[in-house]
């Protein structure tokens, strides 16, 4: 079975189990997720910032004993800091480039997750559709004529398209629930 198919069929804990047992390497999973991200990128437009090189570097030295070791992951481009990665918040205003990781990012990394991209969001997370002048329309992978919802629509689209098995999202008024429902992840 291909690594890309395993990425599609297994959940995060299943993938981490395969990495822990040595049946699959973190680098194999990372490369499959990156390939899937690039293959779906033109169609669904869910990537704000690719993190491919840092993901490859992290995958090479991941501690296989971590609970989610080697699992490819997406971090929403809104309200979270990743050291050295431009944070746009879906806006055309100049990106903020933090010189630190937020606590949530540190926790994701400590669990063994491997961020491969930041995911799109509507400008400042203010709409229940993931569309912005900065990044355009994020499309539903099941039907690109339909919305992914918002504001975590980029994250939902990446999970629904089999790019990553799990992704960061935030919710102040339906921003996880709406994209999950729109993308068939409920």
Out of 87, 91, 175, 180, which one is annotated catalytic?
Answer: 175
**For residue 19, is pLDDT > 80?**
yes
Strands 72-76 and 114-119: parallel
- Residue 151 is among the residues annotated as catalytic for this protein: yes
Cα separations in angstroms, 173 against 114, 118, 125, 176: 28, 21, 10, 8
The predicted pLDDT at position 115 comes to 98
E strand or H helix at 131: strand 131-132
Q: Angle at which helices 26-44 and 52-60 pack, to 10 degrees?
A: 160
Confidence of residue 61 (pLDDT cuts 50, 70, 90): very high
Out of 76, 132, 155, 183, which one is annotated catalytic?
Answer: 76
CATH class label, 3-182: alpha beta
The predicted pLDDT at position 186 comes to 73
The pLDDT tens digits of the residues spanning 82-124 come to 999 999 999 999 999 999 999 999 999 999 999 999 999 999 9
The predicted pLDDT at position 81 comes to 98
Strands 136-137 and 131-132: antiparallel
Q: What is the mean pLDDT of residues 7-20?
A: 97
Out of 132, 151, 155, 180, which one is annotated catalytic?
Answer: 151
Whole-number average pLDDT of the chain? 96
E strand or H helix at 4: helix 3-9
Cα separations in angstroms, 159 against 63, 139, 167, 180: 24, 13, 7, 9
- Residue 175 is among the residues annotated as catalytic for this protein: yes
The pLDDT tens digits of the residues spanning 128-179 come to 999 999 999 999 999 999 999 999 999 999 999 999 999 999 998 889 999 9
């Amino acid at each position: 079975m291909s690594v890309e198919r395993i990425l599609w069929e297994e959940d995060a804990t299943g993938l981490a189990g395969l990495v822990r047992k040595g049946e699959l390497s973190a680098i194999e999973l990372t490369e499959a997720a990156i390939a899937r991200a690039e293959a779906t990128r033109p169609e669904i437009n869910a990537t704000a910032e690719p993190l491919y090189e840092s993901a490859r570097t992290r995958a090479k030295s991941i501690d296989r004993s971590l609970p989610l070791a080697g699992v490819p992951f997406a971090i929403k481009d809104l309200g979270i800091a990743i050291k050295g990665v431009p944070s746009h918040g879906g806006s055309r205003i100049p990106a903020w480039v933090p010189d630190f990781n937020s606590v949530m990012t540190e926790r994701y990394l400590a669990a063994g997750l491997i961020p491969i991209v930041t995911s799109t969001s509507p400008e400042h997370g203010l709409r229940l559709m993931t569309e912005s002048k900065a990044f355009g329309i994020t499309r539903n992978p099941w039907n690109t004529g339909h919305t992914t919802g918002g504001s975590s629509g980029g994250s939902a689209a990446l999970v629904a398209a089999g790019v990553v098995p799990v992704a960061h999202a935030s919710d102040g008024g339906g921003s996880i629930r709406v994209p999950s429902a729109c993308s068939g992840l409920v």
